[in-house]
Amino acid sequence: MEVVLRDSQHVGPLFFFLKKSSLMGFKFLMDLWCTDYPEKSLRFEIAYSLLSIKNGFRIVVKADTSEDLPVHSVTGLYSSAGWLEREVWDMFGVFFSSHFDLRRILTDYGFDGFPLRKDFPTIGFFEVRYDEETKKIVSEPVETNQEYRVFDFSNPWNQNGSLG
């Protein structure tokens, strides 16, 4: 089953109900992930996968948010959300309010940007390499000089270019 929230401010009360209600009993947060839709005004979709072991139900709750709109953290209800919310923060820049330890988890502390956003450059901003002359590690802006290769799609076994 899937529940879609258009307003991410209702995440806290909904998850409290899903976990504490005796009818629901979703006591296990299996996963949390984020998807970036840059063409939408609320570009991020946060998805939570919950499991009710007692009832044998699974549910996916999706909430839409933007870079400026914080999502209420569910770490008070599900301790497993701590690392998952940190990962979403580090990779997408989605802020989780009332998270006890929201800091980078996969990238360096001085890293600029959020690598899983669709508008993040695929080659990054800086290149880090060891310079043999100076015997130091240097950080330089990335230069994207690339020569384009010309591909010959003709069949090498047939000289007239037909496929037969």
pLDDT at 160 over 80: no
pTM for the complete prediction?
0.73
Average pLDDT over residues 131-140: 90
Q: Look at residue 4 in the predicted model and tell me its pLDDT.
A: 82
Q: DSSP 3-state assignment of 37?
A: coil
Tokens of 161: 């270019």
Task: Compute the average pLDDT of residues 100-109.
Answer: 89
The CA angle 6-12-15, to the nearest 5 degrees, is 90
With beta carbons less than 8 A apart as the criterion, state whether 102 and 119 touch.
no
pLDDT band for position 163 (50/70/90)?
low
Q: Can you give the pLDDT at residue 10?
A: 85
How many angstroms from the chain centroid is the CA of residue 130?
30
- Read off the pLDDT of residues 41-100 as tens digits, 9 standing for 90 and up: 999 999 999 999 999 999 999 999 999 999 999 999 999 999 999 999 999 999 999 999
Q: In the prediction, which pLDDT does 151 show? A: 62
Does the structure show a pLDDT above 60 at 162?
Answer: no
**What are the backbone angles phi and psi of residue 118, rounded to the nearest 5°?**
-65, -25
Strands 136-141 and 126-131, by their bridges, are antiparallel
pLDDT of residue 27: 95
* Domains of the chain with CATH codes: 2-97 (3.30.460.80)
